[in-house]
Amino acid sequence: SSASGRSSSIPLEAPPSSSRHLEISAPDPFLPHQGPAPSGRPSLLQAGDAAAAMSKSGALDLASGLGGKIDKEQVKSAVDEYEKYHGYYGGKEESRKSNYTDMVNKYYDLATSFYEYGWGESFHFAHRWNGESLRESIKRHEHFLALQLELKPGMKVLDVGCGIGGPLREIARFSSTSVTGLNNNDYQITRGKALNRSVGLGATCDFVKRQTS
């Protein structure tokens, strides 16, 4: 599960017998906005305002009991910075490529609240049985992965491209392991650390900021 929509995996520095790596695929993100919003659909700025509103109103309590951390006054700035990279607003391909990391981070600063509102804390899908809720199917899938990896209490696990750490926390609690999430987005890392602390995993699960490819 990753901020870029891709996933890869490498083990932590621990003996082979006591370490495992975790790989969970998430759907590719929406393509960057390159033109005006179609009639009847919200613009990126409107979407950003909605994200701030969800944060302020506590709408994200439905997912986790904690709101987001992007302030309303930061939304327009983030939108402006994101849109300047695209041709419709006069952006150049060279600038887009040379500032790719910044562009992607601006996107996820704005989109993460929507992901969490729609998916909860785990940004991936799973097969669902008849009568099974989305939340139940996702938890079952994460438990299945922990069993397939043969995780045992005390093992150390690395989740590369971890989003806000929903799978990380579920698997850590299910298997009594310590999981470190790798992410390149400050907003998602801050959010993930707050969620770790809220469920008592602040000491055993953590995040590291690192660019992955």
- Give the pLDDT band (50/70/90) at residue 75: confident
pLDDT at 49: 54
Q: Tell me how far apart the alpha carbons of residues 144 and 118 are, in angstroms, rounded to a whole number.
A: 23
- Convert the pLDDT of each residue in 93-106 to its tens digit: 777 778 778 878 88
pLDDT at 155: 97
More confident position, 209 or 37? 209
Which burial class, exposed, middle or buried, applies to 29 when counting CB atoms under 10 A from its CB (0-12, 13-18, 19+)?
Answer: middle
pLDDT at 71: 67
Q: What are the domain boundaries of the chain?
A: 16-26+136-209, 44-119
Q: Tell me how far apart the alpha carbons of residues 9 and 198 are, in angstroms, rounded to a whole number.
A: 26
Domain 16-26+136-209 belongs to what architecture? 3-Layer(aba) Sandwich (3.40)
- Convert the pLDDT of each residue in 121-141 to its tens digit: 999 989 999 999 999 999 999
| Residue 67 amino acid letter | G
